[in-house]
Structure 1
Amino acid sequence: MLSVTPIPALSDNYIWLLRQDSSQDVCVVDPGEAAPVLALLEREELVLNTIMITHHHADHTGGLKELIKRYQPRVIGPDNPAINGIDEVVGDGDEVRVMGRLFEVIATPGHTLDHVSYFTAGIPPLLLCGDTLFAAGCGRIFEGTPEQMYRSLSRLARLPEDTLVFAGHEYTQANLKFATAADGDNAEVANALEECRKARALDRPTLPSTIGRELKINPFLRTGDDRMRAAAAMQGSADDDLATFTTLREWKDNF
């Protein structure tokens, strides 16, 4: 069995640790800093075998140098010279075997141009999506275009509904507050917000989510819904799905 463990980092990042129960070798995803990873590895007597990177932002790569120096792991990531240490460059449609599971690389530009996500169709299916898809939200558009982000999210939305979604940040509560403003009559959103508040009160992660859950609560995956169109129309354009998405994203940026 492949287990996935969150390592809290920085102010609200999650570094995800992947491990097969029968091995002390592990993989970490997007190590924004080295210290919490090193602490866990030493405490659990684990060996860092692989690092997977989704994009070049420092809060997802800041720990690379120290971890590489200490463990000389295999480092997988997108083709971007701004990321120092990648020895296995991957792009859309590539496949990589990590911790016994075959992961498909999905190009998900929008937040950044180099952003990739990793999907494995095992039991259960898993998605490591960095800053593209969040629980009840999506990443800000820093380098790409609204159309790129919309298409990236649309690709992820078509994954199996039982896919576990491991995003890069603990943004769920803030995202659900926006979802409440955009879709206040959605009982699924209200229930998710209550669950989120209870989890955070106990300092527990709100992740992973699932694709099926996101299709019910995430405004950015529901741009074809009449209620979302109506909400977007009050803020700007909602002529089609892309216009609705663009308006929602601009609204969220200033929420």
Structure 2
Amino acid sequence: MPAPAHIDLNSDVGEAFGSWTMGDDAAMFRSVSSASIACGFHAGDPSTMAETCREAVAAGVTIGAHVAYRDLAGFGRRFLDCSPRELADDVLYQMGALEAVARAAGGAVRYVKPHGALYTTIVHHEEHARAVVDAVRAFGGDLPLLLLPGSVALERARAAGLRAVAEAFADRAYRSDGTLVPRREPGAVLHDEHAVAERMVRLASRGTLLARDGTEIRIDAASICVHGDSPGAVAMAAAVRAALTAAGVEIRAFA
């Protein structure tokens, strides 16, 4: 299978809150093509959101809304047993808030990516998947949704007429069923930038990755995520970009 002509690199950014800092977003923007910006529910605050949007616009990086359960204390990594209506309202609220500061920075929200527990929950949770899709439809603008391949949410988005974009994770280990190894388990997060870069070249050239148990799994992804809050994230993003470019793959935003 030949390498694709291009692929997107995205990173979850804007995850500081008040005087608490997280990651080096400006440095990440030298490598990625899309920025999934926290919208204040798992991380981020108005000033952080605005500054991250300004930096993304200046770097020519596409802005996406990184929406989450309302869980600042848990960094959005805990399931919230809310009603579908409440979740849809929360997601719509986050998108609207980011769109306002993005416009002020000379940009706009171009896609939506759920975060953390919300992202993994809607792999299987029908009602919450439908709530996220409903919120994106209500917002309008035909925004794409960035989701895990094979997820219920991806199927629901396509059925609703939305563009559903499949994503792979550079710095996360996979189970043999194509889902992510939970962060609470050892080895869930990958830190060797050279090994990760080689994995992403394999993904781009073959469309496959090796799961934690050695199983070869197929992942048809149009975007690769490098988490901005991981130690060594800047170096890892640079290594992934360099390896893909050397393999003849252009880094280009999908939205």
User: TM-score, normalising length from structure 1?
Assistant: 0.33
Specify the structure having the higher radius of gyration (Cα).
Answer: 1
Larger RCO (alpha carbons 8 Å, 6+ apart): 2
